[in-house]
Structure 1
Amino acid sequence: MNGAHDMGGMHGMGPIDTDPNDPLFHAEWDKRAFAITLALGFHGRWNIDTSRHARENRHPADYLGSSYYEIWFKGVERLAVETGLVSAEELATGEPAAISQTPPPDPARVAAILAKGASAKLDDDVPAKFNAGTKVRVLDITTPGHTRVPRYCRGRIGTIDRDHGVYVFPDTHAHGLGKKPQHCYSVRFGGRDLWGDAAPSNDTIYVDLWDDYLEAAP
Structure 2
Amino acid sequence: MHGFGPILRDEHEALFPEHWECRAFALLIAVIASGALSMDEARDGVERMDPLLYLRTIHAGESYYWRWLCATEILLERKGIVTAAERHNSRPGAGNVPAGLALSCLKAEDVPERVARRGSARLGMGAPAQFSVGDRVQARNLHPEGHTRLPRYVRGRTGRIERDHGVFSFPDTSAAGLGPKPQHLYLVRFEAAELWGGEPGPGAVLVDLWDDYLEPSDERDT
TM-superposed CA distance for 1:53, in Å, is: 0.2
Q: Give distance in 1, aligned partners of 2:32 and 2:217.
A: 40
User: Which ranges of 4 or more aligned residues in structure 1 deviate by more than 6 Å?
Assistant: 100-103
- Seen in structure 2, the aligned counterparts of structure 1 residues 19 and 95 have a Cα distance that, compared at 3 Å, is closer
Q: Amino acid of the residue matched to residue 95 of structure 1?
A: R
Structure-2 change in CA distance of 1:87 and 1:64 (3 Å): same
**Correspondence for 2:66:** 70
The residue type paired with residue 85 of structure 2 is E
1:212 is aligned to 2:208: no
TM-score, scaled to structure 2: 0.85
User: Is 1:41–2:37 an aligned residue pair?
Assistant: no
- SS state at 2:197 partner: helix
Aligned to 1:166: 167
Q: Which amino acid aligns with 2:211?
A: D
Shift, 1:39, TM fit: 1.9
Asked if 1:23 is matched to 2:24, the reply is no
Name the aligned partner's letter for residue 162 of structure 2. Answer: D
Cα deviation, 1:14-40, whole Å, max 9, x if unaligned, reads 333144444322211111111111122
Map 1:168-207 onto structure 2 (within 5 A).
168-197=169-198, 201-207=201-207
| Cα separation, 2, equivalents of 1:32 and 1:24 | 12
Distance 1:210 1:99 in 2: 37
What is the DSSP-based 3-state SS (H/G/I as helix, E as strand, rest coil) of the residue aligned with 1:41?
A: helix
Relative to the length of structure 1, the TM-score reads 0.87
In structure 2, relative to structure 1, the CA distance for the partners of 1:166 and 1:103 (3 Å cut) is closer
Q: In the alignment, what sits opposite 1:86?
A: 82
- Root mean square deviation of aligned Cα: 2.2
Q: Quick one: distance in 2 between partners of 1:161 and 1:58? A: 35
Runs of at least 5 residues in structure 2 that lack an aligned partner in the other structure? 98-102
Partner of 1:53: 44
CA contact (8 A) 2:165 2:185 kept: yes
**More deviation, 104-113/134-143:** 104-113
Instruction: Give the distance between the partners of 2:87 and 2:51, measured in 1 at CA.
Output: 23
SS at match of 1:93: coil
Shift of residue 115, structure 1, vs aligned partner = 2.4
Q: Which letter maps to 1:211? A: D
Look up the SS of the partner of 1:42 in the other structure: helix
**Count of equivalent residues:** 208
- AA matched with 1:46: L
Instruction: Provide structure 1 residue ranges, at least 5 long, that are not aligned to the other structure.
Output: 1-5
Deviations 1:59-84 (A, max 9, x none): 32211222311110000011111112
Q: Secondary structure at the match of 2:15?
A: coil
